[in-house]
Amino acid sequence: MARNKTDGRGNYVGDAVELDVAIGSLPFISGAWYFVDPLIGSNSNDGLAPGAPLADIESAYDKCVSGQGDGIVVISRGTGTSSQTTSYLKAPLTWAKHGITVVGVAAPVSMFGRARVATQDVTSAAMDDCAQAAHAITRETGSFLADGWEVGMKGAIADSGSNNDATFTVTAVTALTITVSETLNVQAKASTISTTLLSYCTHAIEVSGSNNAFYNLHVYNGGASDLSVGGIKVSGNRNFFKNVSAIGAAGTAAAATANGYDLFVNGGQENTFERCVFGTDTVLKGDAATVVKFDSDAWRTRFYDCEFIIETATAGAGGISIADATALSGYQLFKDCTFLLWNDNGVGASTALVIGTKPNSGQLIFDKCAEYGWSAWGASGMAGCVLVAAPAVAANGGGGIATTVA
């Protein structure tokens, strides 16, 4: 039974939440807590109490007021299956608000936790009655609404016509028409035999706001499109992540590209990650894929006790990628972190953990970190950028990660 203390606005601000068992105290916030429970929640609820939760994290985010100090509790209930514990996103969630605290109520495991946010594909398949105008895609039977298309979603076209591989952004949708912002080639249905539309999410969540905190969440992007490449993107400042697991490009097509990443720090400053796990050893990534990507003068990023994991059979895959010469500014610190490259077939080590372009300004510091699976911490062109104070890879019984197993 929850202790439903309320503030002057009638919002729940209790110092503890008890579901089936006590889970401890929520951190103090100055605003309201909104509760999310994918198993029993409904977006017709106000979400202000555990017994009347919302159905997904996106709806809770919409209720939060930027800068007010509101919070979101993501509850994990049931047997822990994905369908019972996941907030599904049809389009990337842009976290542009400031000062929101998010707490996942689930076992605090390092990977694949059950307080979960994941992307969800929408497909309109094998339509033989589809026509395309400059800003519209139409069909004669079926229903785009029933398929699940919504305003703001992105999709790609696969057909025999001149719009094959074209992408679009939905601006309006009815049962028989999707209106798009892009300009498509005009095609009659006879030119677009067996058209298929597949949605994609370039990333799951982008934190463009500042001063947000995320605890004990799992974020997953496993979309079927080769454009579903990213996990978490951070472009805001002074955000904090603890015990967050993020996986991007988990679909086969996206994993094979060089664009996949699990975490993208894109111009953010003073962001901190503690005891997080980025990547997985169950999705085979292609050449030049990476776990963490830096771009746009990322500055003062801190990683403490984090794991970075990639499965690959190619020499060019990395753990960290620097997008271009202006990707970094100042120091990015990795302290007590572990970088692991996995391959089922035991293919030889990849070339370098840090790949990409040496920055004009900025350095990566690895303090008491360990890596396994790469021949070097940095590519040959990264001299002066990659600074390592870490145990060396060692034979059995040595001080580093052993190269052979007894």
317 occurs within a structural domain: yes
Q: Of the spans 7-11, 119-123, 127-131, 399-403, which averages the highest pLDDT? A: 119-123
Co-location of 36 and 175 in the same domain: no
Question: Is the confidence at residue 2, as pLDDT, over 80?
Answer: no
Asked whether the CA dihedral 108, 109, 115, 117 is positive or negative, the reply is: positive
Co-location of 142 and 252 in the same domain: no
11 occurs within a structural domain: yes
401 occurs within a structural domain: no
Measured CA to CA, the distance from residue 364 to residue 373 in angstroms comes to 19
Co-location of 380 and 338 in the same domain: yes
**pLDDT of the residue at 25:** 76
Tokens of 305: 């006790």
Residue with the bigger pLDDT between 86 and 5: it is 86
The angle formed by the CA atoms of residues 13, 85 and 232, to the nearest 5 degrees, is 85
**pLDDT of the residue at 343:** 84
Give the count of domains, the chain. 3
Co-location of 217 and 347 in the same domain: yes
Measured CA to CA, the distance from residue 293 to residue 266 in angstroms comes to 8
> Average model confidence (pLDDT) for the chain?
89
Co-location of 28 and 67 in the same domain: yes
**pLDDT of the residue at 299:** 92
**pLDDT of the residue at 10:** 45
| pLDDT over 70, % of the chain | 89
Q: What is the CATH number of the domain that holds 260?
A: 2.160.20
Tokens of 42: 């409904």
Co-location of 48 and 148 in the same domain: no
Q: Which residue in 182, 157, 186, 159 sits closest to 169, CA to CA?
A: 182
Q: What is the largest CA-CA distance in the chain?
A: 69
289 occurs within a structural domain: yes
> What's the pLDDT tens digit per position in 5-51?
454 444 444 443 333 333 457 899 999 999 999 999 999 999 999 99
Measured CA to CA, the distance from residue 353 to residue 309 in angstroms comes to 11
pLDDT class for 179, splitting at 50, 70, 90?
very high
> What's the pLDDT tens digit per position in 47-67?
999 999 999 999 999 999 999
The angle formed by the CA atoms of residues 210, 241 and 6, to the nearest 5 degrees, is 75
pLDDT class for 94, splitting at 50, 70, 90?
very high
Co-location of 64 and 169 in the same domain: no
| pLDDT over 90, % of the chain | 73
Q: Which residue in 324, 323, 321, 208 sits closest to 269, CA to CA?
A: 208
Contacts of 329 (CB under 8 A, 6+ apart): 297, 298, 299, 361, 362
Name the burial class of residue 338, with classes exposed (0-12), middle (13-18) and buried (19+) by CB atoms within 10 angstroms of its CB. Answer: middle
Question: Is the confidence at residue 147, as pLDDT, over 90?
Answer: yes
For residue 58, report the phi and psi dihedrals to the nearest 5 degrees: -65, -40
Co-location of 217 and 167 in the same domain: no
**pLDDT of the residue at 193:** 84
Co-location of 362 and 302 in the same domain: yes
Name the burial class of residue 52, with classes exposed (0-12), middle (13-18) and buried (19+) by CB atoms within 10 angstroms of its CB. Answer: middle
State whether residue 179 is helix, strand or coil.
strand
Asked whether the CA dihedral 320, 324, 325, 329 is positive or negative, the reply is: negative
111 occurs within a structural domain: no
Co-location of 9 and 128 in the same domain: no
356 occurs within a structural domain: yes
361 occurs within a structural domain: yes
Question: Is the confidence at residue 246, as pLDDT, over 90?
Answer: yes
**pLDDT of the residue at 66:** 98
Co-location of 317 and 340 in the same domain: yes
pLDDT class for 368, splitting at 50, 70, 90?
very high
Domain boundary among the residues 175, 200, 225 is at 200
117 occurs within a structural domain: no
Strand order in the sheet with 320-322: 93-95, 205-207, 230-234, 261-266, 292-295, 320-322, 350-356, 374-378
> What's the pLDDT tens digit per position in 262-299?
999 999 999 999 999 999 999 999 888 999 999 999 99
pTM: 0.88
Domain boundary among the residues 173, 200, 227 is at 200
Q: What is the CATH number of the domain that holds 16?
A: 3.30.1910
Measured CA to CA, the distance from residue 289 to residue 309 in angstroms comes to 12
**pLDDT of the residue at 96:** 98
**pLDDT of the residue at 392:** 64
Question: Is the confidence at residue 399, as pLDDT, over 80?
Answer: no
Domain boundary among the residues 154, 170, 200 is at 200
Co-location of 305 and 172 in the same domain: no
Question: Is the confidence at residue 174, as pLDDT, over 90?
Answer: yes
Neighbouring-strand partners of residue 22:
18
Question: Is the confidence at residue 221, as pLDDT, over 50?
Answer: yes
59: containing domain? 1-78+95-105
Residue with the bigger pLDDT between 373 and 219: it is 219
pLDDT class for 383, splitting at 50, 70, 90?
confident
